[in-house]
Structure 1
Amino acid sequence: MKSLWMVAASLLFASMGVCVKLASEALPASEIAFYRAFISLLLIAVIMRLSGAQFATPHALTHLKRGVSGAISLILYFQAIALLPLPTAVTLNYTSPLFMAAWLGFTVSGELSRPIALALALGFAGVVLVLQPTLGSEQWVGGLCGLSSGLIATMAYLSVRDLGRLGEPEWRTVLYFSLCSSVFGAAWALIDGGFHLPDLRTCALLLGVGVFGAAAQLCMTAAYKGGRTLVSASLAYTTVAFSTLYGVLLWNDVPSAAVWLGMVLIVASGVLAMLNPPPAKL
């Protein structure tokens, strides 16, 4: 089942999140996003060159839509990771299946079904519980970044689905996403105070961000291309489990009872949404 590629992508994304969290101690999120995208761009370009793959594409506009939405979502996600505990940031980012289900519900059937409406209510309650325990401004800024990244990622994921249906190979999809993210990340970093010279430890972490990110993108693209969109999106929730495990092992960051409940509600709401898709093949 090709949707299972998403489980591999989830483990890789969680590993990338660990590197982002550690690198954020020395660099701003915009700069980390640039390095993540630029390293991936170089890796993918070299592999494509050696394998003789074609760089040109007849679907430039779809790639641009996927690249721009993905780049903005990526930077917001990294900002959330920098401000919040890793499991919390990941959980908020993975509200994207909820937004996707709501969007598909409106566009396919013209209205939300009762299960989707219930899923959205559960998801909202979960978000409140995840953010409620600490009401500091930094928590809410990080929370808004995480939710915004999830919302904007919906457009990126739907574009990945469209590119798969158009027959675009995974390598080329990831290449153009990395190119757009490099441009946006560099521009954001320059506006945010310019680039900094990283030390050796930070360089190693940035390399991990780029390698894990590129591998995760390839697995995710394969999942959305070969599997069903909503099934792949629901399996993305395994990133929450992997990230929580990392948080406990590396930072002894055990979520409180309220946060655990909120995370469970968000995951349950996503699963409910995935089990009740709109009446059309996705």
Structure 2
Amino acid sequence: MIKAKYALGSAWMIVAAFLFALMSILVKNAGTQLDMNPYELAFWRSVLPALIIFCGTLVRRQTLKTPFFWGHMKRSVAGTTALLLAFYGLSQLPLATSVTLNYTSVVFIAILSIVWLKETPSLKTWIALLMGLGGICLMLKPAFESDRLIQTLITLSGGIFTAFALLQVRALSLMGEPAWRIVFYFSAVAAVISAVVATWVGWHRLTPEILPYIAGIGGAGLLAQLAMTHAYHVGQKFTVAALSYLTVVFASIYGVVFVGETIGSLEILGIVAVILAGVVSSFPEKKTD
């Protein structure tokens, strides 16, 4: 029975990884084919979850009031910055590269845990950190030799903000904040900030060609979040965390097969190293007596 439950959790994480990849693909295509800017796409990605959770609280007669308002603001601003940088990367870089750079947060979580939280790293953490840093270096080398260095570094910086946001999520969860409230504040703040930036850059008028992308990005992002949450609820958390890196695999396959993107050998090695760093970081710590 327990094995069947864990298998179900793994299946839900595979679904979530596919949906996250689909969202990235739709963002990429909306930017390249319809010339939509990443900031308006981030708005449509964020506003749907915010509205659904808000309506859900009204139906269930729950409250959005929280004693940890500023904790939510720090998490939400960091998460919003990471989201905008991720969508920027999707508009500027090959799909596989941009998605992988978004998953470097595991490296920066390790660094922040050592420097900021003063935690003593385990051997597993050191291995994951060194593998992740090696993967980043391999991916940056081609960028130094091309005209995309600035775009690559900007996208990579999103991993730092994602790491900070995830550490803040952990802190809020330990203080007893429910996941739906954390997601609501992030989605609401992201919708507001991205709307302001998109207004400054410029909006596209909604057309029959644009509407499917908007619905797909918002829907895929929301369903992916729900599938991932359910996967962690019913599955074995270490296996589920490792399977989350299938998003990189799905996005890479699409970029190479259907878009015709080319990935150099160094970039492939870098992508593999980052994925392995994430998998290693998901392993449970060895218990000592």
How far, CA to CA, are the matches of 2:286 and 2:87 in structure 1? 31
Tell which deviates more after alignment, 110-119 or 208-217: 110-119
| Counterpart in the other structure of 1:179 | 188
Work out whether 1:250 is the aligned partner of 2:270.
Answer: no
| Counterpart in the other structure of 2:142 | 133
How far, CA to CA, are the matches of 2:166 and 2:235 in structure 1? 13
How far, CA to CA, are the matches of 1:112 and 1:187 in structure 2? 40
| Counterpart in the other structure of 1:195 | 203
User: Which of 23, 27, 30 is the aligned partner of 1:20?
Assistant: 27
1:225-267, CA deviations, whole angstroms, 9 ceiling, x for partnerless residues? 8889877654432211121222234313353322211111122
How far, CA to CA, are the matches of 1:247 and 1:79 in structure 2? 17
Gaps of 5+ in 2: 1-5
Cα offset, 1:179, TM superposition:
0.4
Tell which deviates more after alignment, 228-237 or 161-170: 228-237
Over aligned residues, Cα RMSD in angstroms?
3.0
2:64 match: secondary structure:
coil
Residues 116/80 of structure 1: CA separation in 2 closer, same or farther (3 Å cut): same
Tell which deviates more after alignment, 52-61 or 206-215: 52-61
* TM-score relative to the length of structure 1: 0.84
Cα offset, 1:24, TM superposition:
1.1
Tell which deviates more after alignment, 238-247 or 106-115: 106-115
User: Which of 50, 63, 68 is the aligned partner of 1:59?
Assistant: 68
How far, CA to CA, are the matches of 2:153 and 2:194 in structure 1? 19
| Counterpart in the other structure of 1:86 | 95
Tell which deviates more after alignment, 113-122 or 224-233: 224-233
Residues 221/109 of structure 1: CA separation in 2 closer, same or farther (3 Å cut): same
Residues 182/204 of structure 1: CA separation in 2 closer, same or farther (3 Å cut): same
| Counterpart in the other structure of 2:151 | 142
Retained in 1: the 8 A contact 2:107–2:133?
A: no
Letter in 1 for 2:65: A
Cα offset, 1:85, TM superposition:
1.3
Tell which deviates more after alignment, 110-119 or 213-222: 110-119
Retained in 1: the 8 A contact 2:64–2:181?
A: yes
2:67 match: secondary structure:
coil
Which protein has the larger Cα radius of gyration, Structure 1 or Structure 2? 2
Identity of aligned residues (%): 34
Retained in 1: the 8 A contact 2:16–2:227?
A: yes
Q: How many residues are paired up?
A: 278
| Counterpart in the other structure of 1:153 | 162
How far, CA to CA, are the matches of 1:160 and 1:205 in structure 2? 29
How far, CA to CA, are the matches of 1:81 and 1:168 in structure 2? 32
2:253 match: secondary structure:
helix
Work out whether 1:238 is the aligned partner of 2:251.
Answer: no
Work out whether 1:259 is the aligned partner of 2:262.
Answer: no
Residues 203/188 of structure 1: CA separation in 2 closer, same or farther (3 Å cut): same
How far, CA to CA, are the matches of 1:63 and 1:87 in structure 2? 31
Residues 60/173 of structure 1: CA separation in 2 closer, same or farther (3 Å cut): same
How far, CA to CA, are the matches of 1:198 and 1:18 in structure 2? 20
Retained in 1: the 8 A contact 2:28–2:91?
A: yes
Letter in 1 for 2:222: A
How far, CA to CA, are the matches of 2:146 and 2:169 in structure 1? 36
How far, CA to CA, are the matches of 2:164 and 2:235 in structure 1? 18
Tell which deviates more after alignment, 50-59 or 178-187: 50-59
| Counterpart in the other structure of 2:3 | none
Letter in 2 for 1:259: E
Residues 141/221 of structure 1: CA separation in 2 closer, same or farther (3 Å cut): farther
How far, CA to CA, are the matches of 1:197 and 1:7 in structure 2? 35
| Counterpart in the other structure of 1:218 | 226
How far, CA to CA, are the matches of 2:287 and 2:157 in structure 1? 27
Work out whether 1:35 is the aligned partner of 2:59.
Answer: no
Cα offset, 1:34, TM superposition:
1.4
How far, CA to CA, are the matches of 1:162 and 1:226 in structure 2? 22
- Residue pairs, 1:65-84, within 5 angstroms: 65-84=74-93
Retained in 1: the 8 A contact 2:100–2:248?
A: yes
